[in-house]
Structure formats: C-alpha cells, structure tokens
Amino acid sequence: MKLILLRHGESQWNLENRFTGWKDVSLTKAGIAEATFSGQQLLKANIKIKSVYTSLLKRALETTDIVTDIINFPREHIKYDWRLNERHYGALQGLNKSETASKFGEEQVKIWRRSYDTPPPLLSEDDERHPKFNPKFAQIDGNLPSGESLKNVIERLKPFWKNYLSFIKENPGNHLIVAHSNSLRAIVKVLDELSNKDIISVNIPTGVPLVYKLDNNFHVIDKKYLIDEDRLKEKQEIVANQGKAK
C-alpha cells in the first residue's frame, strides 16, 4: 500500500509570506504549476489512486481538482474533512511573518511557528477572523479553534486518522491526502514515530508528492518525494527560511 501526502501548491499568502491558517486564499500561478507537476509525477510513477481526501480550504481544494483531473480520478469521489485543515494561527492569521518577527523577535515567532505545544496568541471570540463566523464551518461538530499548536492539530486529527486507517485497510491500494503543512506534519509525526523534538525540524514543501510505502500494519517500509534531490533541497530551504526577519 502507498499513502501519498501532498501539500497544496503555493498560495497567494505563501507568496506574500503571511500566516494563512484557516483563511481561504487561492493558488498563485506558481502554485497551479506545482499542482500540475504533482499530478504529472503521479502519472509518471504509474501510481493508481484509490481514494482522495482533502481539507475544506480553497488552496487544497484547487490543488486537489488539478491533480485529480490529471490522474483521471472522478471529482465526485473526492472526500472532504475539516480535520485536515491547516493549523489555525490564531491572532497571527493574516500577518506578515517577517514583520511579525521584527516586532516580537525572531525567536518568539519561531516558537509560535515551530514548537510542538506552544500555540500562537489566540483570537478573541468576537474577532471577525474567528472560524465561527465563516459559513463554511457552520456544520462542524465540535469546538472551532481560536489558535492551535501542532499538538492541538494532532489531537484534532485523531478521530479522522482512526477512521481513515480503518478505511484504507478495508480498501487496499494507493491513497492520496491533499492537505497543508501542519496537518501533514501531524500525520508524518505519527507515521514516522517522531519525537516532539524531532518533528520541529520537519519541513514539507508545497506541491511535491511524498510517497509512503506501508505494510499491512501501517509501518513505514519506505518513503520518498517524487522530485529530484536538488530541487527538493531547494524547496525545503525556501520553507525553512519563511518567516525569518529580513
């Protein structure tokens, strides 16, 4: 069984170096090209996809539509789950990462962005950015986040992950999840059995399929990105450098 994890293509707020969180923003031209590349790489590798899951956020939805069109996966069979949404960045949502680092200090912003269990400053309940004011999330059963650490994202993902493992066990084949940096980092932490410290240094680039080969007990046999090593390093460096003071 292969499980393919794909972070959406570059979004407009990725380009603008802003904390995006649950804000709906579209892909850039580069993001569209990355999504197209991802679909073509899956075709090239001859990986037949049995199921596709994605989040409720536009940048992931647009990426999913592009990829599924390329690999001829029926759009009506795509499954959507809010638990795959990006980490909610609380009161940082919409702010420029470099300007925020200049204001609060790069070390503090690094803690907010990369620590395992320290959430960003939370939104107030009456902040218009709070997800409870977005009709898209009105049907979500549970408390909507005002800001999340990676630990919070993992807790939020647990019900999805339990059901998902049961689903793919009953449906052998190759499966694709199109999501976001931190929701995918949460899954990577579980799959690779990483410590809270080790996950801090893990960066997931936009628009590159990460292919896990799993045994029947979901233990990792192998993993690789469908891209050459030089381009992978370049993209990972870009992600690692985002948010540094300039």
Q: What is the pLDDT of residue 246?
A: 39
CA distance 204 to 226: 13
The answer, yes or no, to whether residue 183 has pLDDT greater than 90, is: yes
Task: State the pTM of this model.
Answer: 0.93
User: Under DSSP, is residue 62 helix (H, G, I), strand (E, B) or coil?
Assistant: helix
Residue range 97-114: mean pLDDT, rounded: 90
Q: Are 159 and 176 in contact (CB under 8 A)?
A: no
User: Residues 132, 144: contact at Cβ < 8 Å?
Assistant: yes
For residues 44 and 241, the answer to whether their CB atoms sit within 8 Å is no
Residues 90 and 148 sit within 8 Å (Cβ to Cβ): yes
Q: Which residue has the tokens 């940096």?
A: 181
Q: What is the CATH number of domain 2-241?
A: 3.40.50.1240
The residue type found at 107 is E
Residue 7 DSSP SS3 = strand
* 234 pLDDT higher than 60: yes
pLDDT of residue 244: 53
Q: Which residue carries 């939020």 as its tokens?
A: 156
pLDDT digits (tens, 9 = 90+) for 209-229: 999 999 999 999 999 999 888
Instruction: Give residue limits of the domains in the chain.
Output: 2-241
Residue 6 has pLDDT above 80, yes or no: yes
CB 223 within 8 A of CB 209: no
Element (H, E) at 184: helix 181-191
Q: Are 24 and 88 in contact (CB under 8 A)?
A: no
Stretch (H or E) spanning 97 = helix 97-104
List, in sequence order, every residue forming a beta bridge with 179; answer none if it has no partner.
Answer: 7
Nearest to 182 by CA among 208, 157, 161: 157
Name the percent of the chain lying above pLDDT 70. 96
pLDDT at 29: 96
Locus of tokens 């995006």? 20
**pLDDT for position 237:** 73
Q: What is the pLDDT of residue 88?
A: 96
Positions marked active-site? 8, 86
